[in-house]
């Protein structure tokens, strides 16, 4: 069994890679806020955001489907929107009187809009992670005034997630080594053993976190994310930021006008 937790950064020389990390974070947040701020049913504006995401991935040298493939992770979360067509009042498109269910047109529009917004948000996040090293991303988050405690939690979680995965892998190997013929007893025993493993892993993680925190404090850790080089905004960064927010504003204005 192999647990693979890889860095999502893809080295490259595209224009997205060369942008200042702070600019990329602001543009990504603006993209997500724009997608979520559009009225339900703003299909043209949502399509434009989708084309922007595809174009950004293609022009950065990672391929037009880079973010598209990684955004499929958002599909399971779409289950939260499945109830909207049945619970939102309005014009009914389908009705099942025997079951007491009906699909409304406003609910269907809201559900589809919610799904597309989540899908686009994940594409933007995938592009950000694919073109920005994680340590630079942490520095950029702190630079745009994200609370330091959140930045620290993200950094430490990412760093020690690999260690916890390796610890869990060792526990699974030890459990299989104690199972005759590679097969454990019944499902009830296996469920009890899995619960014990989760509890043991939690206790080990808690003890390790206390030791790591004490060691970091003894070395002068003050809760801030730092990188060795200092970045300065250049003309390309300012131009990208200006064009991005001009486009976002235009899409929102067009959506509100059409609504």
DSSP letter string, 18-53: HS-HHHHHHHHHHHHHHHHHSPTT-HHHHHHHHHHH
Which pLDDT belongs to residue 80?
Answer: 74
Place of tokens 């070395």: 219
In this predicted structure, the answer to whether residue 184 has a pLDDT above a threshold of 60 is no
d(CA 228, CA 133): 13
d(CA 157, CA 163): 10
Judged by DSSP in three states, 89 sits in coil
**What length is written for the chain?**
259
Angle of the 187-218 helix axis to the 148-177 helix axis, nearest 10: 140
Mean pLDDT of 208-220: 84
Find out whether 51 and 116 touch, Cβ atoms under 8 Å. Answer: no
- Which residues lie below 8 Å from residue 224, measured CB to CB, with a gap of 6+? 142, 148, 151
Two tokens at 22?
A: 């702070």
Sorted by where each begins, the domain ranges of the chain are 15-132+231-258, 148-218
Which pLDDT belongs to residue 5?
Answer: 46
In this predicted structure, the answer to whether residue 3 has a pLDDT above a threshold of 50 is no
pTM to 2 decimal places = 0.76
Which pLDDT belongs to residue 194?
Answer: 75
d(CA 176, CA 193): 11
d(CA 229, CA 210): 30
**pLDDT band at residue 29 under the 50/70/90 scheme:** very high
Instruction: Give the model confidence (pLDDT) of 147-169 as tens digits.
Output: 888 888 888 888 787 777 777 78
DSSP letter string, 180-236: GGG--S-HHHHHHHHHHHHHHHHHHHHHHHHHHHHHHHHTT--S----SS-----HH
């Amino acid at each position: 069994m192999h647990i693979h937790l890889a860095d999502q950064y893809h080295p490259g020389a595209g224009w997205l890679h060369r942008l200042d990390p702070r600019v990329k974070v602001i543009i990504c947040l603006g993209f997500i806020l724009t997608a979520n701020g559009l009225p339900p049913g703003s299909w043209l504006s949502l399509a434009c955001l989708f084309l922007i995401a595809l174009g950004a991935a293609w022009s950065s040298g990672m391929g037009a489907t880079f973010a598209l493939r990684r955004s499929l992770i958002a599909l399971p979360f779409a289950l939260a929107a499945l109830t909207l067509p049945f619970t939102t009042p309005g014009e009914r498109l389908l009705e099942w009187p025997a079951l007491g269910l009906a699909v409304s047109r406003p609910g269907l529009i809201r559900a589809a809009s919610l799904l597309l917004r989540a899908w686009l948000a994940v594409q933007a996040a995938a592009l950000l992670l694919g073109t920005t090293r994680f340590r630079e991303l942490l520095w950029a988050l702190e630079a745009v005034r994200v609370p330091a405690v959140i930045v620290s939690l993200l950094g430490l979680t990412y760093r020690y997630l690999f260690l916890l995965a390796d610890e869990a892998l060792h526990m699974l190997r030890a459990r299989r080594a104690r199972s005759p013929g590679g097969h454990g007893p019944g499902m009830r025993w296996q469920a009890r053993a899995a619960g014990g493993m989760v509890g043991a892993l939690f206790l080990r993680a808690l003890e390790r976190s206390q030791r790591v925190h004490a060691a970091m404090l003894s070395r002068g850790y003050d809760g801030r994310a730092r990188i060795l080089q200092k970045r300065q905004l250049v003309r390309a960064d300012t131009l990208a930021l200006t064009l991005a927010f001009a486009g976002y504003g235009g899409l929102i204005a067009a959506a509100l006008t059409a609504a």
